Amino acid sequence: MKWIGRIIEIIVDSFVPIITAGFQYTIPLTLISFTLGTLLAILVAIIRVSKVKILDPICRFYVWVIRGTPLLVQLFVVFFGLPKIGFIIEPMPAGILVFTLSIGAYSSEIFRAAILSIPKGQWEAASSLGMSYPATLRRIILPQATKISIPPLFNSFISLVKDTSLASNITISEMFLVTQRITARTYEPLVLYIEVGCIYLIFCTVLNWVQNRVEDKLMLSKSEKKKVKEIVDNQI
């Protein structure tokens, strides 16, 4: 009974520090990185679809490198590697930089696939009306592509919430690092890691609920749902 009482005490005492770290670091890190990464993704997708001569190969290389290397390795290169050549970045900015680049690369493929899924007839119709390429992209293509992109982007956002646990490796005091510190004091890794896992699960469950509500509001047609499925399948 003493053991059970001790476990309950550890769970209760650790909950506030862990959840506080979630609101202080995990959520801000996720929101900032996702916002910046999405903006970067749109830019990269437009460059690749438009096939801008100089920038297109650079964007292809960027996406290839980020998608082909582990996120943890990228964090280590930026935080531990760059100081060797004189670039010292604090933990939080380093985390934001790496997660932004990661979201930018993966989400650019989502936006690119969504843009390419728009029928060519719409491009031709806009051109016949005298609309320029940028105007067509801004007023006709991107609004439709964004609508199709929202469901898979939500998936990326939920994945990012979980991926922020990797930031503990570069000393960002998010939920997992706080859990590790408490574990070092209490010697109860099983209980504490299950607890933090449940907190991540709660966060992601809430986001899944929001995603379902948003998708209901979007009222996607059957053809749009098919395009969404194709984009999601290509990301797996």
- How confident is the model over 90-139, as pLDDT tens digits? 999 999 999 999 999 999 999 999 998 888 888 878 788 888 888 888 88
Residue pair 145/38 in contact (Cβ under 8 Å)? The answer is no
Residue 44's SS3 state is helix
Q: What is the pLDDT of residue 111?
A: 92
Structure tokens at 194: 């299950």
Structure tokens at 95: 């985390």
Q: Two tokens at 132?
A: 């320029």
Give the integer Cα–Cα distance in Å for 109 and 118.
15
For residues 15-27, give the mean pLDDT: 95
Calculate what percentage of the chain has a pLDDT beyond 90.
66
Does the global pTM surpass 0.85? yes
3, pLDDT greater than 70: yes
Task: Dump pLDDT digits (tens) for 47-89.
Answer: 999 888 899 999 999 999 999 999 999 999 999 999 999 999 9
pLDDT at 221 over 70: no
pLDDT confidence tier of residue 222, bands split at 50, 70 and 90 = low
What's the length of the chain? Answer: 236
Cα–Cα distance, 215 to 26 (Å, whole number): 25
pLDDT mean across residues, the chain: 90
Q: Tell me which CATH code domain 2-235 carries.
A: 1.10.3720.10
pLDDT for position 124: 79
What does the pLDDT read at residue 132? 83
